[in-house]
Amino acid sequence: MKKDKIVQELKKIIKNEDQKNPYTDIEIAKKLNISRSDVSMIRCNLKIKDSRERRKNLLINEIQKILKEEKAASVRRVTAILNEKGYKISRNLVFKFLKEIEPSIKDNSSHEMNKFNEIPTKVEDIPYAFDSLIGSKGSLKPQIELAKAAILYPKNGLHTLIYGPTGVGKSEMAECMYGFAIESNTKKQDAPFIVFNCADYADNPQLLLSQLFGYKKGAFTGATDDKAGLVEKANDGILFLDEIHRLPPEGQEIFFHLIDKGRFRRLGETENYRQVNILLIAATTENIESNLLATFKRRIPMIIELPALSHRPFIERYKIIKNFFKQEAIRMNANIVVSQNVVKALILYEPIGNIGQIRSDIQVTCARSFLKLMGKENKSMKIDITELPNSVVKGLLKLNSYRNEMNKIVKGDLEVIDSNKVIIQNLDDTPYLLSKEIYKEIESKYKVLKFQGIDEEIINRIIENELETKIYKSVNTIRKNKYKLVKNDLEKIVGSKIVHIVEKMIDIAKEYHKDLDNSLFYCLATHLAASYERLIQNKPINNPKLEKIKTQYPKEFSIAKEMSELASYSLKVNFPEDEIAFIAMYLKSCARKDLLLQKHVGVIVLSHGRVAEGMATVANRLLGVNHAKAVEMSLDESPSVALKNTKQIAKEIGNEKGILFLVDMGSLTGFGEIIGKELSIKTRTINRVDTMMVIEAVRKAMMPDSNLDEMADSLQSDDKRISPKEIINEDKKVIICVCLTGEGTAKALENVISERVKLDNKIEVMTMSVLENHNISAIVKKMSQEKKVIAIVGTINPQIPFIPFIDASEIIEGTGVEKLDNYINLSNNMFNKKINKKVNILANELIDEKTTILKSDIRSKKEAIEKMTNLLYELGYVKEKFKDSVYKREDMLPTLFKGGVALPHANPKYVNKPIIGILTLEKPILWDANNEVDCIFVVAINEYYKDEFRKLYKMINDPYFLNKIKESRSFDELREVIRNV
């Protein structure tokens, strides 16, 4: 190209360029296919300024406008706004421009000094890069100090590993470290920041390594040209590797050579080494000791652990929530008013994915609320409790425990007025009480569900039942309204007639006792209802301590007699002396002066997952106490951590009366015995728990003469009397629809199921109210003696083992209908198989020659799990996530049995077709630190194969059959052994 033409083309390019982002000399050189120096020379001859100067005035004007609107805006904030307006600019450049226009800022700010007048003089003190990290001056301060030290360390900084649970902000920390490197001038302004997630290519190690290190032409099939990798692109900058634990061992080995020598080879190269200068920042959610090579780990000197959200203060969580709502307001160009109840729920619930989960839940909430704005001129959006996902609403169950902290942090509704200002303002002086107005809002929001014919009551009850507790405005409001609100709940459980009678009985008691605790009302109401039911059914009431109570508590017995006469007259039944003695015991236990001195049997509810706290909260609330304590062990939590938490609670509540442990299943069943020995406290454990059992346990514990053994024996005998027998007739099948507060919702669910689910004439759909049937678990178990219970559908999960539960919301959304169809089909298949008595389902259906490997030479636990789960996946028996679920279960508690047997298993939702994979070994392998196994059963079954699982369990606990299996040399020989079990 001739020089004149080049000059004309250069002028044309600059004339038509984006004034917000003018072309650099390098960019112009590429367009004209000439050198950068030639561009600079021609531009200077034409007296054209460089790209920075060409947009300087435009930028300064824009920055001044921003500062006029937001006088306290940080460098990060100014940069973010400029980027939104279309400017491609770094914080470092913004910082320099702010320094240039500093005098004008002073002149234009008569009442407030701009924060940029106090620019730090030391590089180490520059705070702007970490401004976006909430908690930078609080809980994250130690981590940020480490991050700064890593960047500033001569000459090239320290390679860093950031680890912590999912969603805690590892990527954000890495980005802030890069920003700090630019701001502190330890990296050039144009230094690259390359991000790579190792999980994206984890299933293809060769492709992963080629992305990172590049490759030479011909290195592998498809490598038609030489290609540079991300390591080369990160030269003189920072390479951020997320999920570093997914990097294969050979990749880690290449990296520690790169860290040591600063050089590497592309894939396929054998002679030529390439030199690079990079700072490596890696991130992982996994245990670095067991997931990274020791040689690689030793070469990363800086380790930064970011805490889970649960370990950070509520005030920081509040700021995070406020910030996310602000971002959504900007995105939607709408003002947002967030109910204080929503804010409290978001602060208190337990997001599995930490900060990332909170952001996702807030986005879902805002998306639901945004529907209200459609077609309206008003761009102000109100978000209340009805818009929250159910998992978030459950956070309000903790409100009683943290009410003081919440009232200090959340002083009213959160109002995001515009994109620049967030304030707190009291907008509503009344507590949230699930009013009809709110139901109308729910109805309008769920227009689609209404159109589909779903009853409005279903929508109302789903949300109402998820709350488990009502919300109060303040501590004073709680004290003023608690009796009334809980009384309303008791009316639903025991009936308004019982409540009215108990109120009259309390009036009699207060004539003699001036210091009765309010808990008497709740305890007496639930107890009287149960007693009345027994009397009208002609069932006896026996109090073994009758004579003792008459002698020791004559005053209370006398008052109780007068109270029982009122009840007898009102209910038209005669209460025996045994019942009067019970009332006297309640009177004695609820006298405040005795209550302070009295000791009770402790009650601790233990569960896997989010179950225990809900049951304990309901029991405490209905009985007006705070006696039941809960411990919940999440899937990713170590049993040792759960044991430590349980032991701490046991120390706080333990006394000579002992502690009753109500446990759902599995590894938690041994906690009571361990804690009892360590703390020298008497303990008893019941290996089954539901809400009604917790209520009954707390009620019994609050009696003045409560005895641990009597309590445990009583609860266990009640459970045994209604334990299910073998199913008599599987030709009779039933789907049970349940709701908490009445059969109306259950009836509506029945109608939906009848319309949408394929039912035959053998399947009955029944409705049931949890509150009208006090022990629903017992009723369902008794029913299962005569009929096959296919599934329970409803707004509350009664937690009955081996019976599938489908939430009402799933039926509404449609996913539950498909689930129910599958359960019906499974039930039919199982019934057809059981008609033929000769069919052995375990031997003929659940084991297969293709999924059985005998006398293998496998040498490690990981190799065994990988081998078997991959095999089940390849044959279509399980979903891809089955393997990850197996590892999670193993991390929680190794699935070891005596005799050298392991039963790794996963969540049944990842099972496509039931199967049990079998692996026997020539030589035992270590399964945990102290135990070896040589026989492995990979269990991939669902609820309908519980009988077959019992057979398997019986088999592995029988030394004769177990040895026969281990000695089997062929599949036919193995199957014959199993057929004989």
- Per-residue pLDDT band for 963 (boundaries 50, 70, 90) equals confident
Task: Give me the pLDDT at residue 759, please.
Answer: 80
Task: Say how many Å lie between the first and final Cα of the chain, rounded.
Answer: 90
Task: Give me the pLDDT at residue 729, please.
Answer: 53
- Per-residue pLDDT band for 594 (boundaries 50, 70, 90) equals very low
**What CA–CA distance (Å, rounded) separates 368 from 364?**
6
Task: Give me the pLDDT at residue 908, please.
Answer: 79
pLDDT, average across residues 416-440: 35
Task: Give me the pLDDT at residue 864, please.
Answer: 93
pLDDT, average across residues 539-563: 78
Report which of 654, 649, 652, 719 is spatially closest to residue 683, judged by C-alpha positions: 654
Task: Give me the pLDDT at residue 917, please.
Answer: 93
* Three-class secondary structure of residue 621 per DSSP: helix
Report which of 842, 832, 835 is spatially closest to residue 976, judged by C-alpha positions: 842
Range with the largest mean pLDDT of 97-111, 219-233, 529-543, 581-595:
219-233
| 811/966: higher pLDDT | 966
- Per-residue pLDDT band for 462 (boundaries 50, 70, 90) equals very low
Least confident piece of the model among 240-244, 279-283, 692-696, 883-887: 692-696
- Per-residue pLDDT band for 72 (boundaries 50, 70, 90) equals low
pLDDT at 834 over 70: no
Task: Give me the pLDDT at residue 624, please.
Answer: 63
pLDDT, average across residues 241-252: 87
| 557/469: higher pLDDT | 557
Task: Give me the pLDDT at residue 162, please.
Answer: 94
**What CA–CA distance (Å, rounded) separates 236 from 234?**
6
CB 345 within 8 A of CB 395: yes
pLDDT at 470 over 50: no
Task: Give me the pLDDT at residue 666, please.
Answer: 59
pLDDT, average across residues 899-923: 87
Query: What average pLDDT does the structure give for the chain?
Result: 76
CB 629 within 8 A of CB 602: yes
Q: Give the number of other CB atoms < 10 A from CB of residue 828.
A: 17
The position carrying tokens 């970011």 is: 306
Task: Give me the pLDDT at residue 545, please.
Answer: 65
* pLDDT (tens digit per residue) in 754-805: 878 878 778 888 887 765 555 677 777 777 777 888 888 877 666 676 678 8
Name the percent of the chain lying above pLDDT 70. Answer: 76
Task: Give me the pLDDT at residue 371, please.
Answer: 59
pTM of the model: 0.38
pLDDT at 939 over 80: yes
* pLDDT (tens digit per residue) in 189-242: 888 999 988 887 777 777 888 888 888 888 777 778 888 889 999 999 999 999
* pLDDT (tens digit per residue) in 325-371: 888 887 777 788 898 889 999 999 988 889 988 988 888 788 777 65
Task: Give me the pLDDT at residue 265, please.
Answer: 86
**Phi and psi of 533, rounded to 5°?**
-65, -40
Name residue 932's beta-bridge partners.
926
Least confident piece of the model among 37-46, 116-125, 920-929: 116-125
**What CA–CA distance (Å, rounded) separates 217 from 219?**
6
The position carrying tokens 């290190």 is: 213
* pLDDT (tens digit per residue) in 520-550: 777 677 778 777 877 787 776 666 567 777 8
Q: Considering just the CA atoms, what is the radius of gyration of the chain in Å?
A: 34
Q: Which two tokens stand for residue 181?
A: 């490197």
**What CA–CA distance (Å, rounded) separates 555 from 577?**
15
Which residues contact residue 426 at a Cβ distance below 8 angstroms, ignoring those fewer than 6 apart?
411, 412, 413
Task: Give me the pLDDT at residue 348, please.
Answer: 92
